[in-house]
Structure 1
Amino acid sequence: MLDFDFGRKARPTESKESLPGRSWSQSTTNAIKTMLAEKAPSVALIGGASNTKRYLLCRRARSKGGGRTRLITGIALTKPVLRLDPGSRFQKPLPRQARQRAKAQLRCACRRPVARIESKHPHNSNEIDWTPHGDPQHLCSNVYDFAFCPEPCYDRLVDLTDPEDWGPSNRILKNYLLFSFSRAVFLTERDVDQTAPSNLPLVFDDDRCLFNTGLYTRRYETIYGLFEPNTKPDARQRWFLKGFFKESDPMLVSFEYLPCRVRFAEDPSELVFDYRLPIRSNIDHILGDEENLPRIPASLMGEGNSLLLRRAFEGAVVEAARRAAANYTLAVPQFYGGRIQLLLPLCLTGDKPELALTIQREDGFYAARTCLTLDMAYNNARLICRPETSWIKR
């Protein structure tokens, strides 16, 4: 039977024969042996019931001493991602693009390579238990829970990007990365079975993860965030932010595919204000919301000014709609609650905007949702792009 080395040595209390792979069934061993004989990564059906089939992606490598074959990449999952020939124990070599797509699908499904392979019932291949390191079931959508992010990495990113005001302690930048990564996770999990790795905003390759930040250098090179496994014992996050690198950096040479930019709008027309649609405002809700009251100019507050405030708000909404109809770039898009919204400037007491009105497109009209301060509006709008409109530009 073929002798496998899975990257760990036998403990003093166990014999070499007890290492994973030595006691597997002959059919399972033959399947893996055939896979390892291929020059390129391949996929195999290891076993399991019809609804709990196990798939393996592996790649061979020779140790320096020679003579032994080492499994350097092993990932298992229960979700079928490829059609296998009926009765076949392993998948025949796949075309290059199909191999890469399968690799991305499998990595996205389990996120990490297996650290060990244990057999509950050595003579029954259907009972093989594939145990990924840390047993991750889903990608964490919060980048700060997904990976440990050292503070100097943000300073490095600020130096890489085109000069921009990111606020005190890079607050806007951190918020941008938080929501961009969350959207990237959503798109990756949704599209991994349907598209090529180059069309995903997250790419996993050789125990590393690459994230397209959507930011650019002064010469408009895309900037990527590189994550590596967190080797710190008992670490809360499974990954570690190695740093941010432009696309021409040698650190990214080993990636065959670079991730695409995060998409927020499924329909590009949502990003442009349609002057033909009316704006419907729930004034009682907007002006009566306790969160909105502190944002309203003090000159319009007070018990005797409720009617004045209402008229000022109604007039400001009408004026904002007319200004946006004359210049569609005045409406700035933001992403909230999984949908695109538009921000319009509200001038309540003069010609200078004091608040931003959020409107969301519905069936045949725009619904006004709430009011934001200009700082809040910029922070939200920066997620999609750097606002260049004068009324919101920092």
Structure 2
Amino acid sequence: MNLYPLALRLEGRRVLVVGGGAVASRRVPALLEAGARVVLVSPSLTPALQSLVDAGKLHWEPRRFEASDVDGAWLVQVAVDDRFAAAAVSAAALERRVFCVRADDRHQATAWTPAVTRHGPVTVAVTAGGDPPRAVVIRDAIREGLLDGTLPGCVTPAVAAGRPAEAAEVVGGGRVVLVGAGPGDPELITVKGRRMLAEADVVVADRLVPGLLLDELRPEVELVDASKIPYGPARAQEEINRIIVERASAGLLVVRLKGGDPYVFGRGGEEAIACAEAGVPVTVIPGVSSSIAAPAVAGIPVTHRGVAHEFTVVSGHVAPDDPTSLVDWPALARMRGTLVVLMGLKNLPAIAATLLAHGRSPDTPTAVVQEGTTASQRTVRTTLGAVTEVASSFRPPAIVVVGEVVGVLP
């Protein structure tokens, strides 16, 4: 069978979906992402589709299909298992000259849904001659090539010409993207974060950023090591702000790469403010925070049914008795949930003493996780009363988890 490949522009156009089961749950999100005005006809819906209806994202007709439902549609998606019902839908579509996709029998359809992968502005669709398993295998191989950079398609023509594709859409060309690199494992950066690194002209990186991510940068990318910027912490942050604003103002795509998430003790808000004040467009790509990821890979869920219904993340870089501390440590001591302390090794003796003095039991399970999610990860479980002595051999970056969840998993 010879096919004519085509990409449809569905924004604002009526698309009819017949069926409210698992197949429709898979197909509808892509139609909505394309901007289609989806009308779904089915006596019942899956919970996922019901949530879309409740959110006003699609229109649902709670009944069986009628031929007139096809009127005004640009595309019909049949997502029912009953071949006789599906045949009735495709017959109505054929009579009205509307392309129809059938989940039950592609040979009776006038259009096929290919196996699709997306990488920024690049969309790849594979049909493989009507062999779905083969199409999926080919699609997955292409997706891996786009993600790891082995396929040239991962660099857009605009990037190859020295001008980032996304930056070109902005007046003046330049912008700043705050990217969370995750907790340490380079594979835990988001797909979008990795794509922005592939398109960046300038990367300003923190000390805790996985080094393998920097090794993947194009040779011509300017790499600024933020950990080596001189001056004290406040002056260094001012210099970082100056650099990202200056480079973006020159028309470059600047990626500010941070460990964890940009807005979890990453001072990303300060950089966003600096960009806004300078009139530089800035966007944020969230990252996996070590406050959740490090305990998770160490076998510690920060919440657990019947054990902890809350968790609190605090910075421990300022001691509890320091007048500049914004943390209500006595209140935390009275809470029953999980307490996760970042950047607290240096002040751990004072933190533990404060928690104990305000009511936390010395027998409270406590864990220290050093360099979580990396090959150098090290974990120790102890109690709040003994954690100071145990943690003396640990080095940053490390997090401390206090609460019954520390011992809930085998």
Task: Give the TM-score normalised by structure 1.
Answer: 0.29
Task: Give the TM-score normalised by structure 2.
Answer: 0.28
Tell me which protein shows more helix as a share of its residues: 2
